[in-house]
Structure formats: structure tokens, C-alpha cells
């Protein structure tokens, strides 16, 4: 199954299969305990909880951005603790348009695990449709996850520096337009974008209800990126901290495009180096 997106009905039909692990990835920036509290109140039966900052990111340091790429061995240990093995089929969900679920999807693929999917829509839609929910947290039987890194899926700051102005590489900024243009910056210390990057806001992959949009809309929103990939270019996607870039990568995969790297540290890592150039306005 190459499409990373699965429906609520697909998950409902398979949620009790022995190799299935459902991962609740709800998280709110600025309210770091809200996701875990929401999980404790109600979640899909059998789901485990993975926290964006404590589980799916390394501790913040001078470089690496606001959500640094976790140490692969530390992440693999955590995945083992919550019952994810190399044989598991993982389905992630959140209530943030797939942003945090996509982060887990990306990290698992980086660790060499391809049997990972994202539930279309989110927990609220699951609940509103009358699908089963619970506050019960079942006992998790630890497993063993052995990582096999695919470093070709990740770009670091040096790789991105070499990509600026390279005609064989397209840099894609996934943030909303005012942040890309440098008109406003509500989170990070500097406004603007990496020179030569184009803008493709990640929420363009969603429809008005927050559900993943039909294929034609995803394709239209990423048309400039798709044209570059069709021409044989490599694509590097980034955002503010390496989280909201992931839905763009998911969307490209859902359309059959795989030659894409994540700049894991993203803008918040880029500006932690004073000599890195910053651009504003449209490219």
C-alpha cells in the first residue's frame, strides 16, 4: 500500500488486528500538555500516545531548531516501549490537520519502517462520526524496534547551504505566506526564508473542513514542486521547526513522488547560524 493516507473506515476495520499500533499524536504548540490531557480524556481504543516534544524531538540545543531530530537509538527505544516493532503496522492521527501525525510518519520512515500511515481527518472527526472512543489506557507490552537509518531522507544545514542556487535542487518553504515573505514572524527570532526557496503552504493540502483534500487539489497546490520533480530535480522541504513540512512530504508521496528530503532543523535551525543568508519577498 503506497498511499500513506487511510480512511477512518479503513482503520475501524483493522484496529484490533494483532500487528496494528494506533498512535495518538495530538499536540498544541504553546500548550504542551494539552495533547496528553486530551488523550487521557478520550482516544481511539488501544491507541498509545506519542508527544511531539518529549518523544518525537530531541531536547532543544544551540542548533537543530525548535524540534530537533531525535537521536535514532533513543527514538527506537521509545518506540519499543510503546509496543512498536519492525513488524508493526502503525497508523497515526492527531487533531491538527495531520501535522503531528506526519512527523511520526516521517521519523518512522527515516528509521527504515515503511508500514506507517496517517488517518485522514483527525480524532474529532472520528468521534463526531460515532466511532468508538475510550479513556481507558490499556497495558502496553513492550516490543523491540531495530532502526535501519535512511539518511537520504534528511538534509542538514550543510546540505541546504549547498542547495542554495543549485539548479538541480528545489527548496520548498512550507510555512504560510507572510512568514515566508518575511512580513511577520510570530515564533522565530528572524523573519524571511532560505534564499532560492519557493513557498507551498502545507495547509493547501487540506480542504475547508480540515480533511486531506482530493488528489486534484493536492496536485494543484504542489504543482511547482511536482514540475521540478518531473524534471529530475531533488526537492528539500522545510518549515519552521521540521514538523509542518512533513505533510507536504506526505502529500507528495500520496501523489507518487519520493525524491524528497526533509530539512529537519528547518528555519529555526537555519537562523541559529548568524552567517546563514536570509531572503525576503518572493523568489
DSSP 3-state assignment of 283? Answer: coil
Domains 5-128 and 151-270 share a fold: yes
Q: Which three cell numbers stand for residue 26?
A: 495530538
Mean pLDDT for the chain overall: 97
> Catalytic: 239?
yes
Higher-pLDDT residue of 125 and 30 is: 125
Q: How confident is the model at residue 281 (pLDDT cuts 50, 70, 90)?
A: very high
pLDDT digits (tens, 9 = 90+) for 203-226: 999 999 889 999 999 999 999 999
Which residue in the list 101, 239, 243, 252 is annotated as catalytic?
A: 239
Domain spanning 5-128 has what CATH number? 3.40.250.10
Residue 1 has pLDDT above 60, yes or no: no
Average pLDDT over residues 234-260: 97
pLDDT digits (tens, 9 = 90+) for 136-169: 998 999 999 999 999 999 999 999 999 999 999 9
Q: What's domain 151-270's superfamily in CATH?
A: Rhodanese-like domain (3.40.250.10)
Q: Identify the pLDDT of residue 138.
A: 85
User: What does the alpha-carbon distance between residue 225 and residue 235 come to, in Å, rounded to a whole number?
Assistant: 8
Q: Please tell me the pTM assigned to this model.
A: 0.97
DSSP H or E stretch at residue 109: helix 99-110
Each domain of the chain, given as residue ranges in start order, spans 5-128, 151-270
DSSP assignments along the chain, one per residue: ----EE-HHHHHHHTTSTTEEEEE---BTTBTTHHHHHHHH-B-TT-EE--TTTTSSPPP-SSS-SSPPPPHHHHHHHHHHTT--TT-EEEEE-SSTTHHHHHHHHHHHHTT---EEEESS-HHHHHHTT---BS--PPP----------GGGEE-HHHHHHHTT-TTEEEEE-S-HHHHHTS--SSSSS-SB-TT-EE--GGGGB-TTSSBPPHHHHHHHTHHHHHHHHTT-EEEEE-SSSSTTHHHHHHHHHTT---EEEESSHHHHHTTSTTS--B-S--
pLDDT digits (tens, 9 = 90+) for 3-52: 999 999 999 999 999 999 999 999 998 898 999 999 999 999 999 999 99
pLDDT digits (tens, 9 = 90+) for 75-92: 999 999 999 999 999 999
Sign of the dihedral defined by the CA atoms of residues 267, 155, 32, 47, in that order: positive
Average pLDDT over residues 101-120: 98
Amino acid at each position: 500500500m503506497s498511499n500513506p493516507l487511510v480512511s477512518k473506515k479503513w482503520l475501524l476495520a483493522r484496529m484490533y488486528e494483532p500487528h496494528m499500533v494506533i498512535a495518538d499524536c495530538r499536540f498544541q504548540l504553546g500548550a504542551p500538555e494539552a495533547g496528553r490531557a486530551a488523550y487521557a480524556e478520550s482516544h481511539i481504543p488501544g491507541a498509545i500516545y506519542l508527544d511531539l516534544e518529549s518523544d518525537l524531538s530531541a531536547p532543544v540545543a544551540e542548533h537543530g531548531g525548535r524540534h530537533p531530530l531525535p537521536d535514532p537509538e533513543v527514538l527506537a527505544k521509545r518506540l519499543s516501549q510503546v509496543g512498536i516493532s519492525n513488524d508493526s503496522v502503525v497508523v497515526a492521527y492527531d487533531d491538527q490537520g495531520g501535522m503531528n501525525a506526519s512527523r511520526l510518519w516521517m521519523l518512522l520512515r527515516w528509521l527504515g519502517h515503511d508500514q506507517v500511515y496517517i488517518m485522514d481527518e483527525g480524532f474529532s472527526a472520528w468521534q463526531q462520526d460515532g466511532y468508538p472512543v475510550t479513556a481507558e489506557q490499556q497495558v502496553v507490552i513492550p516490543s523491540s524496534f531495530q532502526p535501519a537509518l535512511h539518511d537520504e531522507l534528511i538534509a542538514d544545514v550543510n546540505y541546504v547551504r549547498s542547495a542554495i542556487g543549485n539548479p538541480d535542487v528545489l527548496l520548498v518553504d512550507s510555512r504560510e505566506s507572510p512568514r515566508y515573505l518575511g512580513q511577520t514572524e510570530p515564533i522565530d527570532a528572524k523573519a524571511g526564508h532560505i534564499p532560492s526557496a519557493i513557498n507551498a503552504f502545507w495547509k493547501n493540502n487540506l480542504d475547508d473542513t480540515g480533511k486531506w483534500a482530493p488528489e486534484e487539489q493536492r496536485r494543484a497546490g504542489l504543482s511547482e514542486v511536482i514540475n521540478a520533480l518531473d524534471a529530475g530535480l531533488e526537492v528539500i522541504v522545510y518549515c519552521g521547526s521540521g514538523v509542518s513540512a512533513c505533510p507536504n512530504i506526505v502529500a507528495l508521496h500520496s501523489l507518487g513522488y519520493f525524491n524528497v528530503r526533509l530539512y529537519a532543523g528547518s528555519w529555526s535551525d537555519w537562523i541559529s547560524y548568524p552567517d546563514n543568508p536570509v531572503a525576503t519577498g518572493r523568489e
